[in-house]
């Protein structure tokens, strides 16, 4: 017995040749095309059908002998793989580098690799990848200029976990501290504040999306008697804005020095962070400054098949936070219990492959392509903004929700954005540009005008009827 939803789909996906999921030969024609996520697909792309859920169905008693169940599952997976390929080709809105080749690591799939506990302390569970994890951490420690003996960190399950950890470190160091974060900070920062029941001050931003240090100073002065824990964004989610770390620190010092309040900065930088690091120019992120922790995602700019991240903090802070756990024969200082042991190997693999220079090249390519995109949008009369040190192009939200879904654009109010990652090629951008220009000729006419984005991205970047 197979669930009806799935059965119907599986039948359709093989053009009806699979009557009732019975023919094994037909199923062997599972997708054999080679996968090139950068290739431009010939039009027309089939409309994306809202996927039915893949019900779990109980095996029949004779499945072993008939092979029906295997055949059925193979067909479901083949269809799913096709969807993934199509969706990968039309992906522009999220900061994920979808371009990687980890074929050499497929041999590790057969192992249940788990790094539970502290990366620096051997646990009793032997099927781990701590040696790779610490290797990756050491690489980031060098990037962020902190000595091996002075840092602690781990490979997290995502950027959010890094933020949860970094902010927890801040709170353990300053239990009555107030968390300050610009209002354009990632939602995980405010989630952390809620989870930890911390007092949290939202700071205003400039039109670029950077933290407004004037407002920051006012808020600091309102809370003179309490320590400050600051979340600094190096690449905000929507606009890719880079907070001026040096100005933030200076503002803190000016408003704290007379009271002798210690300060703690948590730097949260996700995709743009690495971009800034490989470009130079912006205030450098280094543990030589009064930074308590830094967190980045591993599956964004670097690219990884599973979400992951890197979190680094000062070793001296971690002792306040950790507990020894006899069951693990290790120390518990992480947010999660079991930890993905595969992710560090993927990161290790890419870091070895590309190295600092390789990333630098990719960053330059991303910025060139981002400028190309912004220029072409503006030429076409479309409001668009690109921050310095960023590859996130913010532009007018397309009027057609189907178009938004098709290109997987992340939107906020009148804004949409494209994050130009290494997997976003000029061909892909041209393909997108042609479609949006064509779309606009249908969406807009004398009666319906494009939205005004002056309040979102500034007058100079707005091409609405009033500001062009
Ligand atoms: C993506 C992102 C996060 C969260 O990362 P996840 O890996 O999705 O949990 C946090 N901050 C910023 C600025 C981000 O772009």
- Say what the pLDDT of residue 290 is: 87
Residue 252, Cα to own-chain centre: how many angstroms? 29
Angle value at C-alpha 194, between 192 and 196, nearest 5 degrees: 65
pLDDT at 21: 39
Q: Are residues 111 and 81 in the same domain?
A: no
Which candidate, 230, 283, 292, 295, places its Cα nearest to that of 256? 230
Length in residues, the chain = 468
Q: In what order do the strands lie in the sheet with 392-396?
A: 384-386, 392-396, 415-419, 410-412
Is the omega angle on the peptide bond into residue 44 within 30 degrees of 0, that is, cis? yes
Q: Are 379 and 360 in contact (CB under 8 A)?
A: no
How many domains, the chain?
A: 3
SS3 state at 306: coil
Is residue 96 a part of any domain in this protein?
Answer: no
196 CA to middle of ligand 1, Å? 19
Quick check: CB of 209 below 6 Å from ligand 1? no
The protein residue whose alpha carbon is closest to atom 11 in ligand 1 is 186
On whether both 181 and 56 belong to a single domain, the answer is no
Question: What local confidence, expressed as pLDDT, does residue 34 receive?
Answer: 52
Domain assignment present for 102: no
Phi, psi of 419 (to 5 degrees): -100, 115
Separation between Cα atoms, residue 89 and residue 41, nearest integer Å: 7
Residue 390: CB within 6 Å of ligand 1? no
Integer Cα distance of 151 and 17 in angstroms: 60
Alpha helices in 211-342 (DSSP H): 213-222, 245-256, 271-279, 315-321
Q: Whose CA is nearest to atom 6 of ligand 1?
A: 159
337 CA distance to ligand 1 middle (Å)? 21
Of residues 129, 182, 185, 390, which has the active-site annotation?
A: 390
252 with 182, same domain?
Answer: yes
Residue 224 maps to a domain:
yes
What domain range includes position 435? 358-442+449-461
Q: Which atom of ligand 1 is nearest to the CA of 163?
A: 10
Global pTM? 0.84
Specify if 206 maps to a domain: yes
Residue 77 confidence (pLDDT): 95
Which phi and psi angles does 312 have, rounded to 5°? -125, 140
User: Is residue 115 domain-resident?
Assistant: yes
Nearest CA to ligand 1 atom 5: 159
Pairing relationship of beta strands 178-182 and 200-203 according to DSSP bridges: parallel
Domain end position, chosen among 352, 370, 399: 352
Instruction: Give yes or no for residue 188 CB within 6 A of ligand 1.
Output: yes
CA–centroid distance for 384 within its chain: 22
For a mutational test of ligand 1's pocket, the pick from 94, 160, 243, i.e. the residue with the most ligand atoms closer than 8 A to its C-beta, is 160
- Is residue 75 among the annotated active site residues? no
Rg (CA), the chain: 25
Nearest to 151 by CA among 119, 122, 123, 180: 119
CATH number reported for the structural domain that contains residue 456 in this entry: 3.90.1150.10
User: Mutate which of 93, 157, 159 to test ligand 1's pocket (most atoms within 8 Å of Cβ)?
Assistant: 159
Q: Based on the domain organization, do 27 and 70 belong to the same domain?
A: yes
DSSP string, 84-118: HHHHHHT--SS--------GGGGGGGGS--B--S-
191-212 pLDDT, tens digit per residue, is: 999 999 999 999 999 999 999 9
| Under 8 Å between Cβ of 32 and 75 | no
For ligand 1, is residue 170 a contact (CB within 6 Å)?
no
Q: What is the mean pLDDT of each run of 10 residues along the chain (468 residues)?
A: 34 33 36 48 53 83 88 94 92 87 94 94 90 97 94 95 92 90 94 95 96 95 89 90 91 70 60 64 82 91 93 88 70 91 97 92 92 96 93 95 93 94 93 96 92 94 91
Distance CA 261, CA 254 (A): 11
Q: Are residues 280 and 374 in the same domain?
A: no
Count, in order, helices (H) and strands (E) of the chain. 15, 13
Report the C-alpha gap between 363 and 120 in whole angstroms: 31
- Give yes or no: residues 324 and 386 share one domain: no
CA–CA gap between residue 448 and residue 450 (Å, rounded): 7
Pocket-testing residue among 192, 270, 298, ligand 1, by greatest number of atoms within 8 A of Cβ: 270
My answer on whether 407 and 321 are in the same domain is no
The reply to whether ligand 1 has any atom less than 6 angstroms from the CB of 160 is yes
137 and 209 share one domain: yes
Same domain for 294 and 200: yes
From CA 338, how far away is CA 331, in angstroms rounded? 13
Q: Which atom of ligand 1 is nearest to the CA of 271?
A: 15
CA dist 451 and 73 (Å) reads 47
Phi first, then psi, for residue 206 (nearest 5°) are: -80, 175
């Amino acid at each position: 017995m197979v669930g009806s939803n799935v059965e119907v789909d599986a039948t359709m996906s093989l053009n009806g040749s699979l009557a009732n999921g019975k023919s094994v030969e037909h199923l062997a024609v599972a997708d054999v095309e080679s996968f090139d996520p950068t290739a431009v697909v010939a039009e027309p792309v089939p409309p994306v059908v809202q996927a039915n859920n893949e019900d779990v169905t109980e095996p029949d008693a004779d499945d072993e002998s008939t092979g029906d169940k295997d055949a059925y599952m193979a067909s479901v997976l083949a269809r799913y793989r096709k969807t993934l390929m199509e969706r990968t080709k039309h992906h522009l809105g999220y900061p994920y580098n979808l371009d990687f080749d980890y074929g050499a690591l497929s041999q590790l799939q057969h192992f249940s690799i788990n790094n539970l506990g502290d990366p620096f302390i051997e646990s009793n569970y032997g099927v781990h990848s701590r040696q790779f994890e610490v290797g990756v951490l050491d690489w980031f420690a060098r990037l962020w200029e902190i000595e091996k003996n002075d840092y602690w960190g781990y490979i997290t399950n995502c950027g959010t976990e890094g933020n949860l950890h970094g902010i927890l470190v801040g709170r353990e160091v300053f239990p009555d501290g107030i968390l300050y974060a610009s209002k354009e900070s990632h939602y995980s920062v405010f989630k952390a504040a809620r989870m930890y029941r911390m007092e949290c001050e939202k700071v205003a931003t400039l039109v670029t999306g950077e933290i407004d240090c004037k407002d920051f100073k006012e808020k600091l002065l309102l809370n003179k008697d309490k320590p400050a824990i600051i979340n600094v964004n190096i690449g905000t989610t929507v606009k890719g804005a880079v907070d001026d770390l040096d100005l933030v620190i200076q503002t803190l010092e000016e408003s704290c020095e007379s009271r002798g309040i210690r300060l703690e900065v948590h730097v949260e930088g996700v995709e743009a962070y690495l971009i800034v690091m490989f470009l130079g120019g912006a205030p450098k992120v280094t543990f030589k400054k009064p930074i308590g922790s830094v967190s980045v995602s591993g599956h964004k700019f670097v690219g990884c098949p599973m979400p992951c991240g890197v979190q680094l903090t000062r070793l001296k802070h971690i002792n306040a936070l950790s507990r020894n756990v006899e069951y693990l024969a290790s120390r518990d200082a992480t947010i999660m219990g079991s930890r993905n042991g595969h992710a560090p190997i993927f990161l290790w693999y890419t870091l070895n492959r590309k190295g600092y220079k390789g990333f630098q090249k990719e960053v330059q390519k991303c910025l060139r392509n981002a400028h190309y995109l912004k220029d072409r949008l503006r030429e076409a009369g479309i409001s668009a903004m690109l921050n310095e040190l960023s590859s996130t192009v913010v532009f007018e939200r397309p009027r057609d929700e189907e178009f938004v879904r098709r290109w997987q654009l992340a939107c906020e109010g009148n804004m949409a954005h494209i994050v130009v990652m290494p997997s976003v090629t000029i061909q892909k951008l041209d393909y997108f540009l042609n479609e949006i220009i064509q779309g606009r000729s249908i969406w807009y006419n004398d009666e319906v005008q494009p939205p005004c984005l002056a309040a979102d991205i500034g007058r100079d970047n707005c091409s609405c009827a009033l500001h062009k």
